[in-house]
């Protein structure tokens, strides 16, 4: 029986250099391969014409370039596109491409499902199957960039369609650092995708120890899912807060900024009607983030079946934004994109063979949502 081929999408350039060395090849072969695969988006070794025939023969025998296969595509009325990629064993993850006048952003998944259990997130409702491999993370960008170039009628590697990458899709990226770090290094490698580290963003719900590791291994722009101004509320919305409370999270953000490519952290704050959207809570949020150079991004909630939560009305969001800006905290409202194809923030669900007692957790979360809404309703009466 033939040995399984090595998927070269699993290697950053350093890893590819080690692999080539194991074949008796010089380090410059790894540079050539990186450029063929990630700049030219080539998966056919026979077309890699500046490689020695003997090396190409080794590649044909031992290796492959295999991104995950798309099984479904949806296109929004605003031009946003969502792809579902098959990652095996009945699991599928989703990636979203957001075209804008000055950039093209790809939102990438890092896990099949998510184990964080945040109350407001559709992905978390699916449960958790496994971490993605580096090839499955990088493969989303490889496939999307190749497809977009094909549609644009160009094979010029300088005609990049995707200028920004955000690891904000399905999963918690920092729970999968072993695969995420090589992927991020490829995104930024000038021999690969050549994306500025200011244009690569990792979003986390607040894994403090892993934030410190990321700062050392691959410091990129950081977005932190905050969503509550107090530990009491955040404990209910985001179970991770019970392990890493807000005071520890703020300290980790300050540490990260010593290494970050930007001089601020982005705090993401989902606006939930009657839960976290009062002006008093805006004042609490100001006091919480005041000592962290930051921008706050207010996100309209995108409802999904069974969430038990509701979207804050526009006027209340605007009032919250004004209160924050008047206090000197730069605050913006995220434009909702792709909500008609369930591609907006918090809506990615894919298909997940859960390993985490999903049904039990759903019952508990619905009870928690009901208790939060009831308590908020009594306070507002």
Q: Which two tokens stand for residue 178?
A: 């072993």
Task: Collect all residues with Cβ–Cβ distance below 8 Å to 16 and sequence separation of at least 6.
Answer: 8, 30, 33, 34
Does residue 307 have a known ligand-binding role?
A: no
Does residue 273 have a known ligand-binding role?
A: no
Q: Kindly list the strands in the beta sheet with 221-225, ordered across the sheet, starting from the edge strand earlier in the chain.
A: 69-75, 81-86, 92-99, 104-107, 164-167, 200-204, 221-225, 265-271, 294-300, 331-333
Upper half-sphere CA count for residue 128 (Cβ side, 13 Å): 17
Does residue 278 have a known ligand-binding role?
A: no
Q: Identify whether 94 is a catalytic site residue.
A: yes
Does residue 205 have a known ligand-binding role?
A: no
Whose tokens are 């209340």? That residue is: 316
Q: What angle do CA 281, 285, 290 make, to 5 degrees?
A: 150
* Catalytic pick among 25, 42, 94, 321: 94
Q: What is the C-alpha to C-alpha distance for residues 37 and 42, in angstroms, rounded to an integer?
A: 5
Single out the residue of 293, 290, 228, 227 nearest to residue 265, CA to CA: 293
Does residue 172 have a known ligand-binding role?
A: yes
Does residue 38 have a known ligand-binding role?
A: no
Single out the residue of 124, 159, 139 nearest to residue 83, CA to CA: 139
Does residue 302 have a known ligand-binding role?
A: yes
* Catalytic pick among 20, 107, 294, 345: 345
Does residue 203 have a known ligand-binding role?
A: yes
Q: What is the C-alpha to C-alpha distance for residues 57 and 111, in angstroms, rounded to an integer?
A: 34
Tell me the C-alpha to C-alpha distance, in Å, between residue 350 and each of 122, 167, 220, 346.
9, 16, 26, 12
Single out the residue of 310, 325, 225, 228 nearest to residue 274, CA to CA: 310
Radius of gyration of the chain (CA): 22
What are the binding residues for [4Fe-4S] cluster? 114, 118, 121
Q: Which residues are catalytic?
A: 94, 345
What are the binding residues for S-adenosyl-L-methionine? 171-172, 203, 225-227, 302
What are the binding residues? 114, 118, 121, 171-172, 203, 225-227, 302
């Amino acid at each position: 029986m033939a040995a399984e081929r090595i998927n070269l999408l699993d290697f950053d350039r350093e890893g590819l250099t080690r692999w080539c060395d194991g074949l008796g090849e010089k380090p410059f072969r790894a540079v050539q391969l990186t450029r063929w695969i990630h700049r030219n988006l080539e998966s056919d070794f026979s077309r890699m014409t500046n490689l020695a025939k003997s090396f190409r023969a080794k590649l044909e025998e031992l290796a492959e370039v295999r991104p995950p296969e798309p099984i479904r595509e949806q296109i929004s009325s605003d031009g946003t596109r969502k792809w579902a990629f098959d990652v095996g064993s009945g699991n599928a993850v989703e990636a979203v491409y957001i075209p804008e006048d000055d950039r093209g952003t790809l939102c990438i998944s890092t896990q099949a499902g998510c184990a964080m259990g945040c109350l407001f997130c559709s992905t978390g409702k699916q449960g958790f199957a496994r971490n993605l491999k580096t090839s499955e993370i990088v493969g989303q960008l490889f496939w999307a960039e190749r497809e977009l170039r094909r549609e644009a009628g160009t094979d010029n590697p300088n005609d990049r369609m995707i200028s920004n990458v955000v690891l904000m899709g399905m999963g918690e990226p920092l729970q999968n650092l072993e695969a995420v770090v090589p992927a991020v290094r490829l995104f930024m490698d000038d021999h690969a995708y050549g994306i500025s580290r200011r244009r690569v963003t990792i979003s986390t719900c607040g894994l403090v120890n892993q934030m410190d590791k990321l700062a050392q291994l691959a410091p990129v722009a950081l977005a932190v899912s905050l969503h509550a101004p107090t530990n009491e509320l955040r404990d209910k919305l985001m179970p991770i807060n019970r392990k890493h409370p807000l005071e520890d999270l703020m300290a980790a953000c300050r540490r990260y900024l010593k290494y970050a490519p930007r001089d601020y952290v982005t705090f993401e704050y989902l606006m939930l009607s009657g839960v976290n959207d009062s002006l008093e809570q805006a004042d609490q949020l100001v006091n919480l983030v005041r000592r962290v150079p930051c921008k706050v991004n207010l996100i309209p909630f995108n409802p999904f079946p069974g969430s038990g939560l509701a979207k804050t009305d526009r006027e209340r969001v605007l009032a919250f934004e004004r209160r924050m800006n008047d206090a000197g905290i730069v605050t913006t409202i995220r434009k909702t994109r792709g909500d008609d194809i369930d591609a907006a923030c918090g809506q990615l669900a894919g298909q997940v063979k859960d390993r985490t007692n999903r049904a039990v957790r759903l019952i508990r979360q619905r009870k928690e949502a009901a208790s939060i809404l009831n308590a908020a309703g009594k306070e507002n009466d």
